[in-house]
Chains A and B, each alone.
Chain A
Amino acid sequence: MKRIKNSRELEKFRKALLKQESGGKTTVAICTGTGCQAYGCQEVVWVFGDVVRKHKLGKKVEILTTGCHGFCEKGVIVVLHPQEIFYQRVQVKDVEEIVSATILRGEVIERLLYQDPKTGKRIRKKKDIPFYQKQNRLIFGNNGLINPTRIEDYIRIGGYSALAKALNGMEPEEVINEIKRSGLRGRGGGGFPAWKKWETCRKAHGDIKYVICNADEGDPGAYMDRSLLEGNPHSILEGMLIGAYAIGVSEGYIYVRREYPLAIQNVEAAIAQAKKFGLLGRNILGTDFSFDIKISIGGGAFVCGESTALMSSIEGKRGEPRAKYIHTVEKGLWNRPSNLNNVETWANVPLIINKGAKWYSRIGTEGSKGTKIFSLVGKIQNTGLVEVPMGITLREIIFDIGGGIPDGKKFKAVQTGGPSGGCLPESLLDLQVDFDQLNEVGSMMGSGGMIVMDETTCMVDIAKYFLNFLLDESCGMCFPCREGLDQLLTIVTAITEGKGKLEDLQLLQEIGEMMRDASLCALGRTAPNPLISTMRYFQDEYEAHILKKKCPAGVCKALIQYQIRKTKCTGCAACAKLCPEKAISGKKDQPHEIDPAKCIKCGICKDTCQYGAIQVI
C-alpha cells in the first residue's frame, strides 16, 4: 500500500476494503485480549488455523484475532459472523466441532452458548446476553470487529474519517469548540474538561508543544485502557492526531507501562502502519499538518500516572511530581506546553468529531457526558469490562450487567476510583454514577475500576491494603504523604491486630485531613480516601475490631480462629494431610480437631475441605 495522499483517496480505499469484505464468508472472531490469553486463546487460534486448513476452508472462513470483547469471565470468547453466534469458554477440544458442525452444517452447539443463570436459557447472540444488553459500547464495541494489528480493518469500519473531517473542513478553534460543546471530561480520574486543557495549551507561548497519552494505568483492578490499546490502538492515534491539530502540535508521546507488553507491541505496530500510510508524519492527508508519535515505556511506578511525574519519567528521570503552581499546559515536558489526556479520553475524540457534539452530549448526565468503561471485578458473577452511559446506577451495573454476587453471598461494598477512591455501601447502590455524584459521596471515578466486595471482605483489611499499596508507591518526596501514610498504616494495622483504641478513629481522621490539605500531588491528597470512606460507611466493623476484638468478615489473622464443625466433618483427613504445621489431628473417619497453638491460620484446610466443615470464628 502506498501513502494515502488526501481524504478522497482515504474514502476510495475504504470503499475498496468494504467491497473485498466477505461475500458468503464466515468470520471467526477470536478474542485475544489479556484475559483470554490467560485462558489459552493463542492455542485456540492455532488449532482453528489447522482445522480450517484440514477441511480446506481457507477461502470460506476467515480467522480474525481481535482485542478484548469485555466478557472476561467467559473466555475464550469466539464469535461467528455473519451468524453472530457467541460461543464462550471455548477450549482447544471444541474447535473441530465448531468448524464441522456450525460452520459446515449450520448447527449451533448448545453447550458453548451462554446460559442465563436466572432463566436457564441458552442465548445465541451476543446482543441478547444480559451482560451486553444494558451496555452502550460506543468506544469499546469496535474491539470485537477488527484485528488491531491491521490498519485496513480500522479504516474499513470508518477509521481516520474523523481526522479527515477535522483537517479538511474545520479550523483548530472549531475542533476545540466541538469538544467543548460535547462536554467531554478527562477519563483518567479527575474529570477535568478536556477542551479547557486544549485551549490553554493552544494559547500558551512556545513554538514546540506536545500532546501526550497517559497509558500508565496503575489502578489495581482497572484494565480498560490496556484493552483499548491492545484492541483498537488506531482509535487512540486518531484522537491524538485530532488533538494535535487543534492545539497546534507536531510531536506526541504515548507513555505506557512496561507491564503491558501486548499493548506496547500493538501500539508500536499501529504507529509504524500509520506512518506507512501517511497518516502520521509530514503533510498528513495532503495538508500542512505534520505530527509524529513516540512511545515511552514506564518502569512500574504508580505515581507516574500523575501528570508531572509522568513527564519527568519521559525525560528519563525519577518519576517525582512537582507542585503545579504553573500548569503543565504552560510548562510541562521539557518545560514546554504539554497537553496530557488519558487513553479513553483520546479514544472518545474521533467519535465526537464524526457524530457531532450535539449527538454526543445527549448521552449521560447534566455534568458528565458520554459513556464510561468500567472494569467490573472482585466478588462478582460476570467479571469483565463494561461500557455504560454516565448516570447508570451502581445497582444496574453490579446486578443487571454483573449478575450479582457469586456463591449466594451478600453484597457488602463496591470500591471505585482505585487507591484514590472510596468504598460505597449497599445504601448507595442507587447512586447515579458520574464524576460529581461519586465525588459527593467521598469516592471518585478514577480510571474506572469497580471492585465488588461481599460479606467475607473485611473493610478494615481493605483500608490496610490500600494504605500498604500507597505507602509502597508514594515517591517519598513530600512529608505529609510519606509520613502520613506510614502513621495511618501503623494505626490501622494495630486495629486489625486487636490493639486499637476508640480514640484512634479520631486520630486517623485528623491525619487524613492533614494529608488532603498539605500533600504535594494528587496521590497524597487522595490517599486517605479508601480509609476515610470505610470509616464513614463501615464504622461498626472498626468498632468490632477495637471493642470486641473480632473481625466479623473472618479475615484479620490475629482476630480469627479456624475450627472444625464436628457435625460436618467426615474424618476424611484431606485437611490433615495438607496442613503445613500438622495442627490437625483425629482418628480415621472420626471428626478431627485443630490445635490452635500450632495453627498458623494459612487457611489451607478451609480451601481443601469439600464438606464445608471448617469455619472461621
Chain B
Amino acid sequence: MKKAEVDKIINSYGADRSQVIAIMNEVQDEERYLPEETLKHIAQRLKLPLAQLYSISTFYRVFSLVPKGKHQCTVCMGTACHVRGAERVLSELERVLKVKAGETTKDKQFSLDTVNCVGACALGPIVIMDGEYHGQVTAAKARNVLKKPEAK
C-alpha cells in the first residue's frame, strides 16, 4: 500500500487515535496483513507508540503480521460444527495442505485458518473458501473444497 492510500484511510477517520483498530482493520482488508512499514506510518500519524499497534495486532484474531496466501480457507470451529465433526475436517485439510491451522503453504497459495463461529450452524461443518460457504463438509469431502481455486 502506498503511503497516500494509508493516509486516505487515516484521514477518513479524522486521524482519531481511538479509531486505530478500525484503521488497522481497513489495512488488513486491503493487504490481508499488516506490513511493518504501514504500522510505523500509522503510529507516526496518530502519535501512538509502535508498541501499542503491535500489541493490538497480536491481541485481535483478525490481524496478521505475515503475508497471507493467495487463497483463504477457513474452517468453522463453532460448537455446532464441532459436534458434527469439524475437528476431523480440519485435520484432513491440515494433512492435505501440509500446514497447521494459522499457517500458509510454502508456495503461498493457501492460508488455512479457523474461526470460532460463522453463525450458519444449520449447514455445519462449514468451510469457507475464498468467501464461498461450503456446507456439510466431511473429512472425505474436504479436499474437494480446495479443488476449485486450484483449477483457476
Q: Does B66 sit within 8 A of A, measured CB to CB?
A: no
Interface string of B77-113 (1 = CB under 8 A from A): 1111011110010011001000000000000000000
Report yes or no: A259 in contact with B122, Cβ–Cβ below 8 A: no
Please list the residues of chain A having a beta carbon within 8 angstroms of any beta carbon in chain B. 34-35, 37-39, 72-73, 75, 218-223, 226-227, 258-260, 296-302, 313-320, 375, 377-379, 383-384, 415, 418, 449, 451, 453, 457, 462, 465-466, 469, 473, 475, 578, 580, 600, 602-604, 607-608
**Please, which residues of chain A bring their CB within 8 A of the CB of B88?**
602-603
Q: Which of A223, A300, A578, A580 contacts B62 (CB 8 A)?
A: A300
The distance in angstroms between the C-alpha atoms of A453 and B82, with both chains bound, is: 10
Report the number of A-B residue pairs with Cβ-Cβ less than 8 Å.
146
Report yes or no: A300 in contact with B61, Cβ–Cβ below 8 A: yes
Residues of chain B in range 50-90 having any CB-CB distance to chain A below 8 Å: 52, 55-56, 59-63, 77-80, 82-85, 88
CB closest chain-B residue, reference A73: B122
Report yes or no: A377 in contact with B121, Cβ–Cβ below 8 A: yes
Report yes or no: B79 in contact with A221, Cβ–Cβ below 8 A: yes
Report yes or no: B122 in contact with A75, Cβ–Cβ below 8 A: yes
| Known contacts A379-B83, A457-B83: A218-B19 contact under CB 8 Å | no
In the complex, the 8 A-B pairs of residues with the closest C-beta atoms, listed nearest first: A299-B60, A223-B119, A300-B61, A377-B121, A220-B78, A383-B122, A377-B80, A220-B117
Number of B residues near A (Cβ < 8 Å) is: 45
| Known contacts A315-B18, A607-B141: A451-B83 contact under CB 8 Å | yes
Report yes or no: A604 in contact with B60, Cβ–Cβ below 8 A: no
**Please, which residues of chain B bring their CB within 8 A of the CB of A451?**
79-80, 83
Report yes or no: B116 in contact with A302, Cβ–Cβ below 8 A: yes
Shortest Cβ distance from residue A215 to the other chain B in the assembled complex, whole angstroms: 12
Given contacts A72-B122, A604-B138, list 14 more A-B pairs with CB under 8 A. A34-B120, A37-B120, A38-B123, A38-B135, A39-B123, A221-B80, A300-B60, A319-B59, A379-B83, A415-B79, A453-B83, A580-B95, A602-B91, A604-B140
Report yes or no: B21 in contact with A299, Cβ–Cβ below 8 A: yes
Interface string of B129-147 (1 = CB under 8 A from A): 0000101001111000000
Report yes or no: B119 in contact with A318, Cβ–Cβ below 8 A: no
Q: Does B25 sit within 8 A of A, measured CB to CB?
A: yes
CB closest chain-B residue, reference A375: B121
Residue of B55, B91, B121, B133 most packed against chain A (CB within 10 A): B121
CB closest chain-B residue, reference A456: B83
**Please, which residues of chain B bring their CB within 8 A of the CB of A258?**
25, 62
CB closest chain-A residue, reference B133: A38
Q: Which of A260, A316, A384, A475 contacts B21 (CB 8 A)?
A: A316
Q: Which of A259, A313, A604 contacts B92 (CB 8 A)?
A: A604
**Please, which residues of chain A bring their CB within 8 A of the CB of B17?**
316
Report yes or no: A378 in contact with B59, Cβ–Cβ below 8 A: no
Residues of chain B in range 1-49 having any CB-CB distance to chain A below 8 Å: 17-22, 24-25
Shortest Cβ distance from residue B151 to the other chain A in the assembled complex, whole angstroms: 20
Shortest Cβ distance from residue A301 to the other chain B in the assembled complex, whole angstroms: 5
**Please, which residues of chain A bring their CB within 8 A of the CB of B82?**
220, 462, 465
The distance in angstroms between the C-alpha atoms of A218 and B119, with both chains bound, is: 10
**Please, which residues of chain B bring their CB within 8 A of the CB of A314?**
18
Report yes or no: B116 in contact with A35, Cβ–Cβ below 8 A: no
CB closest chain-A residue, reference B29: A258
Q: Which of A34, A320, A457 contacts B119 (CB 8 A)?
A: A34
| Known contacts A218-B116, A300-B61, A319-B60: A313-B21 contact under CB 8 Å | yes
Q: Which of B24, B120, B139 contacts A603 (CB 8 A)?
A: B139
Shortest Cβ distance from residue B138 to the other chain A in the assembled complex, whole angstroms: 4
| Known contacts A35-B122, A378-B83, A580-B95: A607-B116 contact under CB 8 Å | no
Shortest Cβ distance from residue A142 to the other chain B in the assembled complex, whole angstroms: 20
**Please, which residues of chain B bring their CB within 8 A of the CB of A220?**
77-80, 82, 116-117
| Known contacts A300-B62, A602-B95: A377-B138 contact under CB 8 Å | no
Shortest Cβ distance from residue A467 to the other chain B in the assembled complex, whole angstroms: 13
Report yes or no: B95 in contact with A222, Cβ–Cβ below 8 A: no
**Please, which residues of chain A bring their CB within 8 A of the CB of B121?**
35, 72, 221, 223, 375, 377-378, 383
**Please, which residues of chain B bring their CB within 8 A of the CB of A219?**
117
